[in-house]
Structure formats: structure tokens, C-alpha cells
Structure 1
Amino acid sequence: MAEALATGEPLGLLDVASAFLSATDPRRDSPFRSDDAEPLPPREELVQAFLHVPRLEASALVAAIAGLTGDRVLRARAHREIALRGHVLPRWLTELDRARTADRAAEFGHVLGDGESLLLGVTLADGSELAVSVYVDHNLGTVVKDALVVPGALPDLIVLMQETTDDPDLGISELAPADVRARATEAIEDGARLFPPLETDTWPANRPLVEWAVGLLPAGGQGYQRPEWSSTDREALAVRVLGSPFATDLTDAHHRELLGDILWFGTDYGPGDPLRWSPVAVELLLVDWIPRKIVADARLLAKAPDVLRTLIRFAHAERGIRPELTAETLAAVDEFEPEHQEAIRSPRLQGPDALLATLGVLDPDELLAEQAQQELARVVGGAAALEELDAEPLPDEPFAWERVPDDVHGRVAEVVELVDRCCDAMLDVEHRTATRRLVAAAAEGDPEVFRRRGRSDTLAAAACWLVVRSNQQAGGGGLTTKELMAHFGLTGSPSQRGTALLKAIGAAAYDPAGPQLGSPRYLTSERRRQLIAARDASSDPRD
């Protein structure tokens, strides 16, 4: 305070008072903090202590605190104490309540809309001027990420910002002072609720000073208007994207499903604009949001970068974005795709668990280990089966005809013959035994699967596909669906007939990680070795 008073400049002293108010701000407290440090005494108690210190610096600090908080009772008492002490303080300090804002305000932003700086000016009672720049970040939820208060007039700050940037996509535009107040207030309040809080060299230390300055602006302005998107609106936009010349490579249902998810991200997160894509938005989507929020097979999520490229080209064409910016945004997809591909194939917390781990409520290592054990148990049919799992090779086992009803013997025989040919040509004895077991269990569990009219080769292909997929690690190599179907002379997906077989044996008809047969009876020795290794590795989260 002594140094700040010695300069004769208002900003130094106001910065100190603002830092004190920020440090004692109840908004900085959180029930999730694990900080063992001794908490500060309440703000009122500290201010009372300063009032009992008969020094010029204490008088100046209390006067600044009273002025920034707008506490009339505190201001009256402070002025009374200061008068009794005979301390002479600058006019701008004793008359902070007479400060006024400039008649104009502005915003400084980028065409891609990651955020903007809200600009305003303040004139103190002695004619001194301050300029304020409040940066609002839309990618993090339209919250204040940083703010600067500098000496000088607002027009000088605007000229400086214009002269120090050569980016043609950055621009300053006039904004009604009341709108600046509404937007800044809203973004400050929303940012104060974030945990962990956003912190820079100046924020939130100067938050009380910024709030005081913003509070001098006229009220009644319009805050940020978030668009409302219904599911029908999103679907209509998806149809437009898929019908555009940019979407010629989005040919399957997975692409359409992922497009819906990405549009959901665009409408429900950030500023609510599904056609706003920047390199930062790309990073948030690929590296954080999709791996954390979308529960699906890695092979499906792996297609997200291609879908995003299509959406970026469509959106930038709609908005008339410069080709150079489109190229930069597409380059960000290339940059973050490897990290995305690694993340979707790695153990990770999702949904509420991810949030609670971030808040420090849950131990992520212990939770991931627990989830890994649950996932492995689900694959083999339960915790007991997982514990008893062995890696003995499946025997060369004959087909169990005793499990098949008499009236479907002929149809099952056709399917088994086709299955055996496929396994002999493309797989091995263990896969053949596993697939024979699957067909026998399905015939016993729901003979109607084999009574319905249909081709035997599609059933055989579906049975082989289920066993192959269940014995491959998620995203792993091996025999592809296309290669398998080609052996049977078929095209398309075997998933529909595969679903019928899964239901027949009592397994889950849908699993986001891919079809799971739910029993080690259908797993090869190699796959069971993989599961045993994963079981042992996740049994202790410290491993």
C-alpha cells in the first residue's frame, strides 16, 4: 500500500484492494477443496482490524475496499476514522462513488467466435481514466477467463489493440454499454461457479475491481442469447449436412450417428452454435468431449475426425469463412486425431465419474481398476467366471446334435457345414469349436431362429462374425467383417442376424463395445490369456 500510494496513480492502490477482496471472496471457497491451509478470517473481521491501525496505508486500503464494494456504512465509518486521524487521501479515492463510465463501449473478437474482449472505460473523480478489457471464453461455457485494467482512456486502448494486430479476422465493434454490463456480469457469475477456477496472473485477483467498473455501466442491457435447438432442429441440420457435396464420404449409419453426436456438442456446449468450428473447438471435441461423454466402441468413435472434417467444410462454407481459416481448422483435426485415437482406446472415466474425479471426490485409479474388473467380468459372464478363467485351448469338439430340436436338424446342418468351411479356410480349430457351440446353444435356446425363412449362409456368417468379434480386442486387427462376408459371397452387415443369435443364447443384444457372448465357452485360448493378463493388471490399481 505504501508503494501504491507513493506512485500517485490510482490503479496500483486499486489493484491491492481488489486482491484483498478477491482473497476473502466467499466464491473462492469450494466443498471439494482438499487444501489443508488455515483459512483466512472473515473479510469483515479483517476490515475491522485495519480500522484500528492508525496508519495512512490502512486508511487508504479501507477507503478503497469501501469504494469497490459500494458498502455505504463502511464508507461512512472509514471517512469518519480517516478524518479523525487527519489523513489526507487522494480525491479520486475518497470519491470513488463519483466515478463514471465512458459513453461508449466495444467488443474485440475473432470471426471464429472462440471468445471476445468486452471493453469499457472509467473516469475517476479527479479526471484520471482507466480502461477495462474483460475476455469472455465461449469454449469453456461463456465465462470470464481473464481481465485487464490499464491506465488511460478507452479510445487509447482501442487504438492500441487495432495497431498491435495484423489479423484480418480480428475486429472491434461498438457495443451498447448496457449490453456490456449484462454480458460481463453474466460471464463473471458463470465463471465464478467453475471448479477448478480459471486463474491467471491477474484473474480473479482483479475481479472485484472489474465488477465495480462494470457495475458503473447503465443497467437494462441484453446478455448473451443462447440459441434453442430442438432434436428436430438438429436432425434437420444433419439432413442438410449429409445432403451437401461435402458429405460424399459419409456413407454408413455410424457416420450419421456420430454427426448427430457432434451436432449435440455444438448445440449444448460452448455458445450453442453447431456451425462454429475453430482449432480450439476441434481440440475440445476430439481430445476431451468425445472420449469422456460418448460410450461406444472405439471402432465407431475412430470415425469422428472424418465426420468432423465434413462438418467443418460445410459450416465454413455456410458462414463464408476465409479458406485460410478453414485450412487451419482442418489442420487442427489432423493434429489432434492421433491423441483422439489413443484416448478412445485407453481406460478412462466418463460422465459423472469423470467430473467427480476432477473434483477430487473419487480416486481415478481405483475407479478405473474397478471398472476394468467389471468390464472383464461382463465379457466372460460374471466375477466368478473371471476368477476361474484359464487359458487351455478349446478342444476339437464335435457338434452337439443332442441340443437341437428334430424339426430344425436340416437347417442347422446347413449352417454348421458352412461354419466349418469358413473356420477351416480362414480361422482355426478353436474358432470352429466356439462357433459350433454358439449354433447349438442358439438352436436350443430359440429354435425359431432356424425355423424362419431365410438363407443359411447369412446365419452361418453371423455366427462366425460373433465369434470372431468376441475374440478380437476392441479396435484390434485380425479378420475383418468385409473379408468374412466375402467368404460367404455376401455384402452388408451381419449384425441383424447376429442380434437374433445373441438373444437366442441369452446374451445382450446390444453392447457399445461390440458383441459379447458372455461366456468363456466361446473364447479362444489367446483371448482368454489376454483377459487373464488384464484381470491381474487391474486387480491392484497401484500396479
Structure 2
Amino acid sequence: MDDGRRRRRAKQGRRDARRRRSRNEDAGELPLIKEVRRALTRGHPIKLLALASGMIHLSKPDRWGYLKAEKREPFPLDVVIAAYIGMKVRESTAMLAVLAELLPDDAEWKARCRLEVETRTHLLPTWLAHLPDIRVHRVVRKTHILGDRDELWLGARLAGGQELTCAVAINHNMFSEVADVSVWATPIDEVMRGDDRQDFSSAALSLADAKAWIRHGLEHAFFPDDSDSSPGCRPLLVWLVGHLPDGGEAYRRPSWDWQEAEAVIDEFFASTVGRRFAGSGYREVLDAVLETGTGDPLRWSAARIRHALAGASYDDDGIPLEVQINAPELLRAYVPFAHARSGIREELTDEALAAIDNLAPAYHEELIDSARDHGDLFGEEVVAQ
């Protein structure tokens, strides 16, 4: 290399270094700028998408914060966006481009972000420059054998060809709410090939039905921060769902044949394990318990058990207290009987029985306290069988 070329290269290196220093100094006070830079340089778009999604999630007030010892202050997203607009660097342009898409319900800020990006000349990756062109191309429904949990796996492809997969867990024990969301930097076909979990069956779900299922589940997610392992992914899910077609049908709880259910109950009370519960009121207790969760008389998860035995309250509707208090023992006899009828493997039955054992003491205590408040104990101690 001749001296002239060496001098030119050294001069260019000094210019590049000055530009980097200037950029870092200008953006030194910009919130999360280092995280944005790392997300831009580490390959898959999921890094930047997840970062923006988390910011949006944290900007929303915690509606159940008043029940918590440590209250979370909302992330000042409007202040941060204003700072990004004020700093004319590539990192801020990239974040504004993502926020222009993911901001769910603030038309003014979305428009400001989009307008600011349009006025800048920073070179952005293809996937980011064409972020609105993302396409959700496949949805797989995975259903747990106990029936109270579905997972919808959404496969999406960005304009640059990168793919991601979003997993949405739906809990049917309450209102078929979205209980958990996670995002993977992996194509859905690859995720499906690597998923060999027991107890799940797979089926295709139309894109329109997936949209209806998830929108219903998001609207009925009352405690997302408590159940969701990654609540910061929810704004990203909302954005993905917005790219699905309309016209689908939301999840419908199965309608169980009451005559078949009655036949199962008759068989239980006639069995060796069920005969000791033949006294007055036990059938009414079992009928009430069967109304919980999915209503399936033959499948009982630990989660459904928790729902069935939570919040015990005595109500004098003709069922003796000594019968109501034995609901955990009734379930302990009924669940193995039901699972034997439906072919549920022993390990899942054991999980349900363990949940009964763990919840029984609290159930007894709450029920007795409630009965005492009603004045129905008369100083006598009621003991479970």
C-alpha cells in the first residue's frame, strides 16, 4: 500500500471516529439508546420489536397496582418519544419507525412518529423500512388433553424475509382469556418440528378465527401481569393480530350432553369409591363443581381444581355444611374415576390430586369462617371426613 493511500485511509478513520463520538455524545441522554443500537446490530428484528413492545406495555398504568405493596409508576413514553424526535440519529429513527406501528391506540403520537421518520434520511434495514408489510401466514392450534388450555402459534414473515413466531396461551377455566404471550426469533415450521411435548394435539386454525379468539382473549384478560411470564409482549401481539383478516369466529365453550354427564355421575355414586358419598347433598355439590372450568365431567387439571376450590363460601341452600366441607374429599375420589374413564395418564391425575391436597386446608378454613359468619355453626366444630 503506498503512502498516499495509507494517509487517506487514516484520515477516513479519524473522520469516522469523530462521527461516532459526535453521535454518542448527541444521544448520550437519549433513553434506551444503547439498547436500540444493540438491537439494530444483533441480527433478528425481534430484539427491537420486543424493546418497543415492552416500553408501550410499561407506559400503561397498572390497574391492579393499588392491591400491590410496590406500585409501578408508568413509563413516560410521551417524554421518551419527544426525546427521540429531538435527536436526529439513526437509533432514534429506528425506534420511532417501530413505535409508529406498534402504538395501539394513540393516533396523535403514531402520526408524529411516522411523520418524523419520513423527514429523515437514515438508512434502515429493509424489514424496518417496510414494517407495515409484515404478514402472518400460518396459525397452529395446540390443545391440551385436559381441555382447559389452548395455545395459538402465529407464524409471521417480515419484508426482509426474517420470520418470527408468537405463542399465545388461552385459559378456558375462566373466560378463555389470553394468559401468556411469548415471541420466538424462529420460523413457525421449525418451532413445530421441535415441539414434542406430551398431552398436546395440533390442528390448523384459520387466520380469521385466530384473530377472533385472541381479541376475545385480550378483552377478557383481567390479571395479565399476574399470569403472564412476558406481559411486555402483549403490545406486539396486538400489532400482529391487527394484520389478520376479519370475519372469524371466537372460541366457543363445548356444550356437554347433560344426559351423558348424569350417567357418569350415576356410575360414580354407584361405584366402590363413590358409595360413601351417597348421603343427601353430595350430588348437588358435585353438580356445582362440574360447572367450573370447561364443564367437562371427565377431565380435571390442577388449574381447574384451584378454580373449583378457590373462594369457598357457605350459602345455606339446603346442602348441609358437613357435606359442603367434604368437597375436596369428594373430588379426590371423583377425579381418578373420571380420568380412568377418559384415559388421562396417571401423572396428570397425580397433579390434580396434589392440587386438591394443597387447597383443602384453606378451603375448610374459609368455609367454616363463612358458616360462622352466617351463624350456622352454633359453637360446634365441623370436621371433614
- Quickly name the TM-score band, shorter chain normalised: 0.7 to 0.9
1:94 aligned residue (129, 150, 153): 129
Amino acid of the residue matched to residue 205 of structure 2? L
Q: Partners in 1 of 2:203 and 2:336 — Cα distance?
A: 27
The corresponding residue for 1:202 is 230
Aligned-pair CA distance for 1:315: 3.6
Q: Partners in 1 of 2:351 and 2:58 — Cα distance?
A: 40
2:382 is the alignment partner of 1:475: yes
Q: Partners in 2 of 1:37 and 1:10 — Cα distance?
A: 28
The corresponding residue for 2:219 is 189
Alpha carbons 2:142, 2:203 under 8 Å: kept: yes
CA 1:19–1:39: 2 relative to 1, 3 Å: closer
Q: Partners in 2 of 1:293 and 1:45 — Cα distance?
A: 51
1:213-362 alignment runs, 5 A limit: 213-227=240-254, 237-238=261-262, 240-244=264-268, 245-246=270-271, 247-264=274-291, 266=292, 270-286=293-309, 288-289=310-311, 291-292=312-313, 298-313=321-336, 315-322=338-345, 325-326=348-349, 329-330=352-353, 332-334=355-357, 336-345=359-368, 347=369
The 3-state SS of whatever aligns with 1:8 is coil
Q: How big is each residue's C-alpha offset from its partner over 1:353-400, in whole Å with a ceiling of 9 and x where there is no partner?
A: xxxxxxxxxxxxxxxxxxx7x66xx58xxxxxxxxxxxxxxxxxxxxx
CA 1:152–1:190: 2 relative to 1, 3 Å: same
Amino acid of the residue matched to residue 225 of structure 1? R
Aligned-pair CA distance for 1:181: 1.8
Q: Partners in 2 of 1:201 and 1:237 — Cα distance?
A: 36
Q: Partners in 2 of 1:10 and 1:124 — Cα distance?
A: 9
Q: Partners in 1 of 2:72 and 2:201 — Cα distance?
A: 45
Q: How big is each residue's C-alpha offset from its partner over 1:280-305, in whole Å with a ceiling of 9 and x where there is no partner?
A: 3223323x14x246567652223213
2:203 aligned residue (169, 173, 180): 173
Q: How big is each residue's C-alpha offset from its partner over 1:44-87, in whole Å with a ceiling of 9 and x where there is no partner?
A: 56434432222322221111011123778766654543354432
Amino acid of the residue matched to residue 184 of structure 2? V
Q: Partners in 1 of 2:365 and 2:66 — Cα distance?
A: 30
CA 1:236–1:12: 2 relative to 1, 3 Å: closer
Aligned-pair CA distance for 1:214: 2.2
Alpha carbons 1:235, 1:260 under 8 Å: kept: no
Q: Give the number of the structure whose alpha-carbon radius of gyration is greater.
A: 1
Amino acid of the residue matched to residue 15 of structure 1? A
Amino acid of the residue matched to residue 98 of structure 1? D
The 3-state SS of whatever aligns with 1:93 is helix
CA 1:79–1:223: 2 relative to 1, 3 Å: closer
Q: Quick check: 120-129 or 208-217, which moved more?
A: 208-217
Amino acid of the residue matched to residue 475 of structure 1? V
Aligned-pair CA distance for 1:310: 4.7
The 3-state SS of whatever aligns with 1:198 is helix
CA 1:332–1:105: 2 relative to 1, 3 Å: same
The 3-state SS of whatever aligns with 1:47 is helix
The corresponding residue for 2:45 is 10
Alpha carbons 1:137, 1:143 under 8 Å: kept: yes
1:54-133 alignment runs, 5 A limit: 54-69=88-103, 77-102=112-137, 104-133=138-167
Q: Partners in 1 of 2:149 and 2:102 — Cα distance?
A: 27
Alpha carbons 1:258, 1:304 under 8 Å: kept: yes
Aligned-pair CA distance for 1:197: 3.7
CA 1:235–1:19: 2 relative to 1, 3 Å: same
1:44-59 alignment runs, 5 A limit: 44=78, 46-59=80-93
Alpha carbons 2:313, 2:366 under 8 Å: kept: no
Aligned-pair CA distance for 1:335: 5.3
Q: How big is each residue's C-alpha offset from its partner over 1:22-45, in whole Å with a ceiling of 9 and x where there is no partner?
A: 12236x43595577665555x556
CA 1:293–1:48: 2 relative to 1, 3 Å: farther
Q: Please, what TM-score do these two structures have when normalized by structure 2?
A: 0.75
The 3-state SS of whatever aligns with 1:172 is strand
Q: How big is each residue's C-alpha offset from its partner over 1:440-490, in whole Å with a ceiling of 9 and x where there is no partner?
A: xxxxxxxxxxxxxxxxxxxxxxxxxxxxx84x522169xxxxxxxxxxxxx
Q: Please, what TM-score do these two structures have when normalized by structure 1?
A: 0.55
Amino acid of the residue matched to residue 157 of structure 1? V
1:21-60 alignment runs, 5 A limit: 21-25=56-60, 28-29=62-63, 32=66, 39-41=74-76, 43-44=77-78, 46-60=80-94
Alpha carbons 1:297, 1:474 under 8 Å: kept: no
Alpha carbons 1:66, 1:72 under 8 Å: kept: no
Q: How big is each residue's C-alpha offset from its partner over 1:400-454, in whole Å with a ceiling of 9 and x where there is no partner?
A: xxxxxxxxxxxxxxxxxxxxxxxxxxxxxxxxxxxxxxxxxxxxxxxxxxxxxxx
Aligned-pair CA distance for 1:2: 1.8
- Structure 1 vs Structure 2 CA RMSD: 3.5
Aligned length: 342
The 3-state SS of whatever aligns with 1:89 is coil
The corresponding residue for 1:455 is none
Q: Partners in 2 of 1:36 and 1:139 — Cα distance?
A: 28
1:328-477 alignment runs, 5 A limit: 329-330=352-353, 332-334=355-357, 336-345=359-368, 347=369, 470=378, 473-475=380-382
Amino acid of the residue matched to residue 242 of structure 2? G
Instruction: Report percent identity of matched pairs.
Output: 31
Gaps of at least 5 residues in structure 2 are 1-35
